[in-house]
A and B are shown apart, each in its own frame.
Chain A
Amino acid sequence: SYELTQPPSVSVYPGQTARITCSGDKLGDKYASWYQQKPGQSPVMVIYQDNKRPSGIPERFSGSNSGNTATLTISGTQAMDEADYYCQAWDSSTGVFGGGTKVTVL
């Protein structure tokens, strides 16, 4: 079965850039989406179709996807960005989520 691999955790200082990777076989041939989830809340889409931001998502969130790796970049990270982040893609008719990355703002 298809798998998406994320680092368990990423730490970043306020104002710095956080990069979260998501690896999967030929992931660049698929669309990747990213979700932010804060404790006790439902996930919120922050990136879709590799690099598009839904309405209301700050510009500091950006995405890329090439080869076997999709990357979510948070520029100028703020304390409010501390959360779990999940990548997601479709493998044929199966939805797949990465294991999630906990972003800690130091």
Chain B
Amino acid sequence: EVQLLESGGDLVQPGGSLRLSCAASGFTFSTHAMSWVRQAPGKGLEWVSVISGSDARTYYADSVKGRFTTYRDNSKNTLYLQMNSLRADDTAVYYCARAQQWLSGGFDYWGQGTLVTVSS
């Protein structure tokens, strides 16, 4: 059974940093691209980033480019999102999701999400 379990969400002050983790199980992690998707309270889904399976190519939404970094440790089956220079509008539930295909398919499995709140 495919499982994705996010952790690391917290309350952080504007300008601060936070690292999210997504522990994957039930599939060959290294062969799948992974994405982060976020959802602000009461709002829709927003794609954040994608990372390829083996060579760790990454792409980011313009809203987070230069502030967020996505990386993965295939030996630990874990995906990460390093968030720096956090702003109030980064407040959201952050989901990790497995991509069916590199830059083409949809997201077939999602984690339960972890809440990031940016506030003073």
Give the B-binding residues of A (Cβ under 8 A).
1, 31, 33, 35, 37, 42-45, 48-49, 54, 84, 86, 88, 90, 92-100
**Interface residue tally of chain B, by bracket?**
20 to 34
Judged by a CB distance under 8 angstroms, whether B70 is at the interface is no
Contact of B105 among A31, A35, A44, A94 (CB under 8 A): A31
Bound Cα distance from A95 to B97, whole angstroms: 12
Give the A-binding residues of B (Cβ under 8 A).
35, 37, 44-47, 50, 59, 61-62, 95, 97, 100, 103-108, 110-113
Q: Which residue of B lies closest to A98 (CB)?
A: B44
Contact of A97 among B46, B50, B112 (CB under 8 A): B46
Nearest CB of chain A from residue B112's CB, rounded to whole Å: 6
